[in-house]
Amino acid sequence: MLLGLFALMVLALRAYPTLITEDLPAIFRTKERSSLFSNPEGNDSRLRVLYLLFACCAIGLYAYVALFPAGVEVFGFIPYLRFLAVTAGFLLLKGLLIRLLCYTFFDGRTRQLCLKSYYDIVVLLGLALFPLLAIRLYAAPSIAHVAQIAGIVACCAAASLVILKLFQIFYSKLLDFFYILLYLCTLEILPFAALLQAYRLAV
């Protein structure tokens, strides 16, 4: 399974290398609006889907290994498919909710920026978890435990980046702070809690 993920990552890197060199570093920049359409290749959603597919498979496999102990010893394709379906459903639902929210309250430019930032963070998380998965599966138990902790840190860092981008994109006055808190409760915390519950049901 890791070999298939590695092949998918290489294919994505060859098809769209500027996502690594330009789009992902833009996550950490404060001002991103002016550079949103600076890279015409970045508008090709078909290429970005390769990265999202890789990230979805990597996150699903990480959840499978972390929450399904038997899968570490003997890989089960059907149980993994359940974790993959839960992960894909969560990402699709989040994308639809973000589109609905931004379509209702913001313009198309803000909607595209929000979706791009969110999915770039998902891709970044997938790229971070992939080598940790290899260490978790094939390294010595003591090193695998460190990789497990590093994976938790990576997930927390991705969540922090989502919050940071929310403030960068939407915050302009004090009242926006309460709207962002409402967004976090309804479109981040509750869906994430539902995701964890769905993973437990998939075990």
Mean pLDDT: which of 35-39, 52-56, 64-68, 77-81 is highest? Answer: 52-56
Is 32 within a domain? Answer: no
pLDDT digits (tens, 9 = 90+) for 131-152: 999 898 888 888 988 998 999 9
| Cβ proximity of 121 and 165 under 8 Å | yes
Number of domains within the chain:
1
Is 28 within a domain? Answer: no
Is 94 within a domain? Answer: yes
Is 40 within a domain? Answer: no
Determine the pLDDT at residue 174: 65
Treating both helix axes as pointing N-terminal to C-terminal, what angle do 190-202 and 45-67 enclose, rounded to 10 degrees?
Answer: 60
Closest Cα partner for 58 from 113, 3, 104? 3
Is 22 within a domain? Answer: no
Is 27 within a domain? Answer: no
- Give the predicted TM-score (pTM) of the model: 0.81
Is 165 within a domain? Answer: yes
**Predicted confidence (pLDDT) at residue 18 exceeds the cutoff of 90:** no
Determine the pLDDT at residue 76: 78
- The two tokens of residue 42 are 């970045």
What distances in angstroms separate CA 43 from CA 5, 105, 112, 127, 197, one per listed residue?
24, 23, 10, 21, 35
Domain of 150?
A: 2-16+49-202
Residues counted in the chain: 203
